[in-house]
Structures are given as C-alpha cells and as structure tokens.
Structure 1
Amino acid sequence: MDHATRLTLVTELRHLLEKGFAHGALEDACAGIPADKLNQRLPQVPYTIWELVEHIRIAQYDILDFSRNPAYETLDWPAAYWPDPAQPADEAAFQRTVQQISHDREEFLQLLQDPALDLLAPFPHGTGQSLLREAMLIADHNSYHLGQLILLRRLLGIWE
C-alpha cells in the first residue's frame, strides 16, 4: 500500500473511530447522564448504562492489547468482558470509564499511524487478524453498543 493510500485509510479510520459517522460519538452519548440512571435496570434489558459502557471499555482494551501484544492472552468469554452487576458504578467511576475508552482509542489510533506496521499483515500471534480488521472490529462493536446505549437512554427518558 502506498503512503498516500495508507494516509487516507488511516484518516478515514480515525474519523470512524472518533466520530462514528452516522452513529455519533460515544462521548456525546455518555454526556449528561444523571448519576441515578447509571445503574438503573429496566425490565427485559440485561444491562445498565454503566455495564454497557464498561463492556465497551473492556472489549476495546482487549482489542488494543491483542493488536500490540505478541504475548496476548485471551480473556474468558463472556465473563471477563462484562462488569460484575453486583458492583454498581458511581459518577466518578463512570467518567473514568469514558475517559479510558477515549485514551485506549487514541492508543489504538497511534498503532494505525505507525508506518512500521502493515495494516493488512496478519498478526503472528493471531488467526488471520490484521490491524485493519481490528480497527473495523472496534468501530463495529462500539457502534453496535452505541445504538443500544442511546436506546437505553431513550427508555430511561434521558435522551432527546
């Protein structure tokens, strides 16, 4: 892949991961949530706002770790990818989670910008995954759960 093509692709991936295009930005969906709604359960919804956002953080970090760590160890699915529902979060913990998502996303974007890394080359420690595939996985996973977060906020009456 030539330099100009790589630069264009990385720029598009950055916009997708940061802004979400049609889906919006995660930070916008997490803004202004009243503390008393973070752990509120609704009938037939298997997670709270806190649990959903913490799941996004855990999964995104796992993808980051896989992408940069040749000694990566697989997490136990699904238990390790969701927070303990018996451990609710306060507003400070929720804000730390949102900040960590942004931080880890930036760390991943730094990987994408590293000219020494081939976006298309399979990771030696994987089963065919490439950095490009992992970027698309983060975007897909986060946008899926972003839609759930907005729906949950609507059901709780805290979304326009």
Structure 2
Amino acid sequence: MAEKEVIQSLQELLTGSHAHISFEDAVKGIPENLRGVVPDNMPYSIWQLVEHIRIAQWDILEFSRNPGHQSPPWPAGYWPNDPVPKDDDAWKESIAHIKRDCAEFIKLLKRPGVDLYEPFTHGDGQHLFREALLIADHTSYHTGEIVAVRRMLGAWK
C-alpha cells in the first residue's frame, strides 16, 4: 500500500467511525447534569473519561513531536480527580482540545517526506504509525465506555 493511502487510512481511523461510534457522536448531547455522575460499579464519570482521552492524546501528540516532552505521572496525571467538570465551558474546551490535538497529530502524519516507521530519536523505538494506532485504540476503547455510561444513565438512544 502506498504511503499516501496508509496516511489516509490512519486519518480515517483517527477521525471516523467505521466499526464503532465516533468520539464526537458519543459525547454529543450529553445533558450537563449527567456529565459528572459516576454510576454504580463504575470508577469514573463521563467527564473523567473525556478528560482522560484529552490528556492521553495530548501526551502522545507531544511525545511524537517534542523529544524533550515529559509525560505526566502515571496514573494520577492522566485522570482528573473531580468527576464533575468545573462548568459548561470546561466541558466544551476539553472536547475542542481533543479535536484540535487530533488535527495536529494528523498534520504530523501529512508532513512532506514523513517516514511513518522511522523510530523517534527518543523513546523506546516508537514511531508515528505506532502512535497513530495508539491514539485510535485508546480513544476508541474509552469512547465505548462513554457510551456504556450513557446507557447506564439512561442518556443513550
């Protein structure tokens, strides 16, 4: 497969919803009063899942483009303590941040002459292709959890 086709497929994987619902559709229309509810037998709220997706994707983006990037401490640095967003603006900004960082990562994939499989000069052999799959896999997993929590809360179609 030509590099251009691989990049196009990765972009679709990062932004689309082929075999599952997209992140955007999963968070669309969640009532404000349910964003911070932690259902019985669940460790986190929808807000905490959204923020976790944002933080992890940001970390992968920064790791991929900045050799001096320092990741947050695991696991505390990847999960918000408060199950409830500060306000509606914090909710909207988190979702916008996820969208922006995804677009920034796609720009890395589309740089002229990019080699998707060239290991970074830092890390343990990671490369753009691996990191793209990591973002897609991680976001997809937690998007499914968002849908499950919405179902538990009676906020899913």
Q: TM-score range by the shorter chain?
A: over 0.9
Deviation at 1:86, TM superposition (A): 6.3
Query: For 1:55 and 1:11, how far apart are their aligned partners in 2?
Result: 26
Deviation at 1:98, TM superposition (A): 0.7
Map 1:86-101 onto structure 2 (within 5 A). 88-101=85-98
Map 1:44-63 onto structure 2 (within 5 A). 44-63=41-60
1:104 corresponding residue in structure 2: 101
Query: For 1:103 and 1:74, how far apart are their aligned partners in 2?
Result: 19
Unaligned runs of 5+ in 1: none
Residue type of the alignment partner of 1:55: H
- Match status 1:6 vs 2:38: no
**TM-score normalised over the length of structure 2:** 0.95
Map 1:113-152 onto structure 2 (within 5 A). 113-152=110-149
Query: For 1:88 and 1:142, how far apart are their aligned partners in 2?
Result: 19
The question of whether the paired residues in 2 share the 8 Å contact of 1:64 and 1:108 is answered with yes
Map 1:54-93 onto structure 2 (within 5 A). 54-85=51-82, 88-93=85-90
CA RMSD of aligned residues (A): 1.3
The question of whether the paired residues in 2 share the 8 Å contact of 1:20 and 1:139 is answered with no
Q: Output one character per residue of 1:114-159: Cα deviation in whole Å (capped at 9) or x when no partner.
A: 1233100110111010000000000000000011000000000000
Q: 2:13 aligns with which of 16, 32, 45?
A: 16
1:39 corresponding residue in structure 2: 36
Residue type of the alignment partner of 2:72: L
Q: Output one character per residue of 1:7-44: Cα deviation in whole Å (capped at 9) or x when no partner.
A: 10010011110013211211111110000001112111
2:155 corresponding residue in structure 1: 158
Query: For 2:130 and 2:6, how far apart are their aligned partners in 1?
Result: 12
Unaligned runs of 5+ in 2: none
Query: For 2:85 and 2:112, how far apart are their aligned partners in 1?
Result: 41
**TM-score normalised over the length of structure 1:** 0.94
Residue type of the alignment partner of 1:47: Y
The question of whether the paired residues in 2 share the 8 Å contact of 1:38 and 1:90 is answered with no
Residue type of the alignment partner of 1:134: E
Query: For 2:21 and 2:52, how far apart are their aligned partners in 1?
Result: 18
Matched residue SS, 1:23: coil
